[in-house]
Structure 1
Amino acid sequence: MTQKSELSEEAMKLLKKLENKPAAEIMNSEALRVVRAAWPEAFHVSSPKPLKVGIHKDMESEGLIPPHIISTALNFFTTLERYLEAVKPGAARINLSGQTAGRVRLREAVDAEIKLYRQSEAHTRGRTRVVINRIKLLSVKKAS
């Protein structure tokens, strides 16, 4: 597994800066940047894969990053639209080294779809939503 000495110099500086901050003051992107530096195989923002259930325990057991930073990063990463779109029934979940570690269950995929819908709901209020097969269309709300 990864050793603390293997973190990049930039990640070590950022981690040192974040370790002294209260959890409420840590920016999501800062926390995720540190986590990505520690486990690059598991945290691909451009093409995320569902993470192993309980991966936070594995991360904490390695002792690289304080639990409050791990929590902030995971909460941010797992609510990204791309991540939620990857959570499909039967999709492979991955561990910290990017290896398959289980499969997404139907209920988990349904929960991800609900989260996606709720995230988009605020942006689509007042617009007409039309779904044709799997294509979602929104009307454009013209300014008066």
Structure 2
Amino acid sequence: MQGRSRGAVTGSRGRARGERALLSERTGALFERLERQAGDAVAEVARLRAHLRRLEAENARLREALSRVEEGIAAASESAAASRQAVSESHDRHTATAVPAAGPSTHLVDSEPPPSPRALLNQWYQRYPQAFFKGHTRPLKVGIHQDLLAREPWPEKLVRRALACYVHLPRYLKAVRAGAERVDLDGRAAGAVGDEEARHARSKLDALRADKAAEREARRRERLDRKLGDLLAKHHSS
């Protein structure tokens, strides 16, 4: 009787040891799987951080290039302004006694509010179709703002702003090429684009493209930061 009792105890202990061994094996496998997942997550975080550093270096390079372009634009603008001033003064000396005739658009403007610069530009597309184009574009005559002031009833500041909306368009800047023929408000030939004017337009166009590239890079970097934050949050929660 006592032998059977000892055998039962021995069998119970053997089963207990077997269960503990199985539990230990399963626990070890679980820890190994968790360690592999953690290792993979850490590796992914390291890869994303390396990619982020490359993006930051590229962004710094773009900012440096943009800074150089802006410096070039500033220098070209000063030179172009000086040239325009000289041409304007020469023109004023030769036309000091000339009184420009009022065009058909010089109606009473006190009774109506002035349009926005862009709205005024839209009027010019209709009023001067040989000078302002929505498709294929031609460079405008140097000093054309003076011709506009002679025909338009609006203040000089508004005329200049509306004109700036047009001459800063990418398609207009592309049209300002060395040797390209300029036109006046009636579409008549009014000189050609000089080399310096073409370089200035090209600098402005490059600056616009650099700005757009920087905006795209900033949006891509923001998406990457969001993705990295989500991944880190997911890793910490697990």
TM-score, normalised with respect to structure 1 = 0.69
Alpha-carbon RMSD across the aligned residues, in angstroms, is 3.0
Picking from 67, 70, 86, the partner of 2:175 is 86
Question: In structure 1, what is the equivalent of residue 205 of structure 2?
Answer: 116
Question: 1:3 deviation in Å?
Answer: 1.4
User: 1:4: which partner in 2?
Assistant: 105
SS of 2:112 mapped into structure 1 = helix
* Counterpart position of 1:101: 190
Q: Equivalents in 2 of 1:17, 1:126: separation in Å?
A: 36
Tell me if the contact between 1:35 and 1:73 (Cα under 8 Å) persists in the aligned partners.
no
Residue 59 of structure 1 deviates from its aligned partner by: 1.1
Aligned equivalent of 1:41, options 124, 130, 145? 130
Identity of paired residues, percent? Answer: 29
Larger radius of gyration: 2
| CA drift at 1:64 | 4.1
- Aligned-partner Cα distance in 2 for 1:32–1:126: 27
Residues 183, 190 of structure 2: 8 Å contact kept: yes
Cα distance in 1 for partners of 2:215, 2:140 equals 35
Task: Map 1:125-140; keep pairs closer than 5 Å.
Answer: 125=214
Q: Which amino acid aligns with 1:95?
A: D
Letter in 2 for 1:71: R
Residue type at the aligned position of 1:17: P
C-alpha displacement at 1:70, in angstroms?
1.5
Q: Which has the higher helix share?
A: 2
Q: Say which structure is richer in strand.
A: 1
Rounded Cα–Cα distance in structure 1 between residues aligned with 2:181 and 2:112? 34
Q: Give the Å deviation of 1:119.
A: 0.7
- Written as runs of structure 1 = structure 2, the 5 A alignment for 1:54-93 is 54-93=143-182
Q: For residue 133 of structure 2, give the secondary structure of its aligned residue in structure 1.
A: coil
Shift of 1:38: 2.5
The answer to whether the Cα contact below 8 Å between 2:114 and 2:154 also exists between their aligned partners in 1 is: no
Task: Tell me how far apart the structure 1 counterparts of residues 203 and 193 of structure 2 sit (CA, whole Å).
Answer: 15
Q: Using a 3 Å threshold, how does the CA distance of structure 1 residues 64 and 39 change in structure 2: closer, same or farther?
A: farther
Query: How far is the alpha carbon of 1:126 from its aligned partner?
Result: 8.3
CA contact (8 A) 1:77 1:83 kept: yes
3-state DSSP of counterpart to 1:18: coil
Give yes or no for contact 1:93–1:102 (8 Å, CA) kept in 2. yes
How many residues align? The count is 119
Distance apart, 1:39 and its partner CA: 1.5
Long gaps (5+) in structure 1: 20-25, 129-140
Structure 2 unaligned segments of length 5 or more: list them. 1-100, 225-238
Comparing 39-48 with 62-71, greater Cα deviation is found at 62-71
